Structure 1
Amino acid sequence: MVESWMNGISPLVRAARIMKSSSLTGEWMDHDHVFTYIEQGEAEFFLSGVKYEAREGDILLMHPFMSHIIRSTSSVPLIQYIFHFDLYYDEERSLLKYTNATKRMRKKVVDREMKLVSIIPISHLQLADRIDLKKRFLLLHKEFLDKRPGGSLMMKAICLELLHVFLRNQADRKDEEGKMTKGWAIIERAINYIHDRFSDPQLNNASISEHAGVSTNHLSHLFKKRLGISIHKYVTHIRIEQAKKRIVGGELTLTEVADEVGFSSIHLFSRSFKAAVGIMPSKFTAMQSAFGAKELKQHLDSQDRE
């Protein structure tokens, strides 16, 4: 894939991280491009409803506002090398430190940032390319963490190299790669409703399926068959992730956090939190003081997709 507009791109790398996980996380959507390299493991990627089987050595490139759900399918933890970037430098967008998208931001995205919408979002690398990619990514990751003068220029150069590796390996993929997940429109309606209403303790399978326009049994079947998770477990996951963000914020008591994210009692919240995260919310809160905000954020990043 070689097009003239590519000669003019000037990438801005916004974030870089290494993530280790073992299960479905929920739906994600970002306002910038997301470059993901699978270092270890296998996973199903649902990208705007299209399912891709990803394995070690694959790159997935998601354009802005592409919804994605990821589910690990191997016995070993999934390790991903990830960085976020804009195709073109924009002074106003360069000030954005977060990556999550909002509906309001969708209206503001410029056409030039959507140049890669039509590409197949997955490439499989040969061994030589994998070795080179890992070296390049780790250098990019170091520059991102060090925040040294001139580091943004180095990250821009590495981003261009990694984009070239991705596009060069597109020739090995078939045009028909990936198929629309059956029932995705229904699943997406349910997911959007859950994200909008997770704070309501009365949210349940019946109300979610009613909004999605299908029976509870049918929606439960779709979630389990297509995403490998129950509706209830998905709702609980979203609530726990929202709770972790509020705990890191440090402005609410645990009882207030539990109430804000939709748990009917602090006891149910504590039990659910321990089951999902592995520690009680009180201990998780204590980690904020022990590690500090920066260190705890890094801990959250490493657990974000578990």
Structure 2
Amino acid sequence: MVCKRCIKVIKDELSNLGIEVESIELGQVIVKSPLNEPKLSEVRKMLHANEFELIDDKKSKLIERIKTLIIERIQQPGETSLNMTSSEIISKEIGYDYSYLSHLFSSVEGITIERYIINQKIEKAKELLVYNEFTLSEIAFQLGYSSVQHLSSQFKKVTGLTPSHFKTLKGNKRKPLDMV
């Protein structure tokens, strides 16, 4: 789950299945009572129908936590991101050595954590460009880029377009965060 709308869908669907939710947040649901295998099967079907998946093994949970942490940091950057590198933040928050997490992420996802971060930043840059509320300089600063040139260079590598050309395009320009 990567957005508040996703959380609402899951909460509503679980309620329709008669499952009481204790808490729900990005990437995690805690139910009030354990689920038996038939109920768990219903949950898997519901998740699949809504294009989600049940993550129940340790490695998948770690990867999902990494993705959620990255998305949260990019969508709502905090002060810790100004003083720490992404690898330090991920390692500290997840509680594992970064090299282990990086290897695990790459082997399962097929891309590096760094590439995933860049892709997420570019999607956020697209969002900010579409809203047209900030200058490219302000967007670069918000996303932690050292310069407008660095953002523009990465933007062009990922999208094939310059940020200014992207702004002139009409139609659906963005991808859902779970498809990045």
User: Cα distance, 1:209 vs. partner?
Assistant: 1.6
Q: Cα–Cα, structure 1 residues 179 and 235, in superposed 2: closer, same or farther, change >3 Å?
A: closer
Q: Answer yes or no: is 1:28 the counterpart of 2:16.
A: no
Extract unaligned runs of 5+ from structure 1: 1-26, 34-62, 67-86, 88-101, 107-115, 125-162, 167-176
Residue 192 of structure 1, CA deviation: 2.9
Question: Which digits, 9 at most, give the CA deviation of each residue in 1:126-184, with x for residues without a partner?
Answer: xxxxxxxxxxxxxxxxxxxxxxxxxxxxxxxxxxxxx8xx9xxxxxxxxxx98734423
Identify the residue that residue 121 of structure 1 maps to in structure 2: 45
Partner of 1:299: 173
State the 1:219 CA deviation.
Answer: 0.3
Q: CA RMSD in A?
A: 3.8
Q: Which residue of 2 aligns with 1:196?
A: 72
| Selected match of 1:232 from 110, 114, 117 | 114
Partner of 2:87: 205
Q: Letter of the aligned partner of 1:119 in structure 2?
A: V
TM-score by length of 2: 0.65
Q: Which has the higher strand share?
A: 1
Alpha-carbon deviation of 1:189?
3.1
Q: What corresponds to 1:284 in structure 2?
A: 166
List gaps (5 residues or longer) in structure 2. 17-23, 29-38
Q: Is the 8 A contact 1:189 1:211 kept in 2?
A: no
**Match in the other structure for 1:183:** 59
Q: Which runs of 4+ in 1 moved over 2 A?
A: 63-66, 116-124, 177-182, 184-193, 195-204, 298-306
CA distance in 1, matches of 2:12, 2:72: 17
Alignment of 1:40-79 (within 5 A): 63-64=10-11
Q: 1:256 aligns with which of 138, 142, 146?
A: 138
Quote the Cα distance in structure 2 between the aligned partners of 1:255 and 1:123.
40
Indicate whether 1:274 and 2:156 are aligned: yes
Counterpart residue number, 1:221: 103
Determine if contact 1:186/1:213 at 8 Å carries over to the other structure.
no
User: Does structure 2 conserve the Cα–Cα contact (< 8 Å) formed by 1:197 and 1:203?
Assistant: no
Is contact 1:240-1:276 (8 Å) kept?
yes
Give the corresponding residue for 1:7.
Answer: none
Asked which structure has the greater CA Rg, the reply is: 1
Report percent identity of matched pairs.
27
Q: Secondary structure at the match of 2:179?
A: coil
Supply the distance in 2 between the matched residues of 1:122 and 1:301 (Cα, whole angstroms).
Answer: 23
Counterpart position of 2:36:
none
TM-score (normalised: structure 1):
0.40
Count of residue pairs the alignment pairs up: 149
- Supply the distance in 2 between the matched residues of 1:195 and 1:248 (Cα, whole angstroms): 19
Distance in structure 2 (CA, Å) of the matches to 1:65 and 1:214: 34
Between the two structures, name the one with larger relative contact order (CA 8 Å, sep ≥ 6): 1
AA of the residue aligned to 2:2: W
Matches within 5 A, 1:103-118: 118=42
After TM superposition, give the deviation of residue 235 of structure 1 in Å.
1.0
Judged with a 3 Å threshold, the aligned counterparts in structure 2 of structure 1 residues 178 and 261 are, in CA distance, closer, same or farther, namely closer
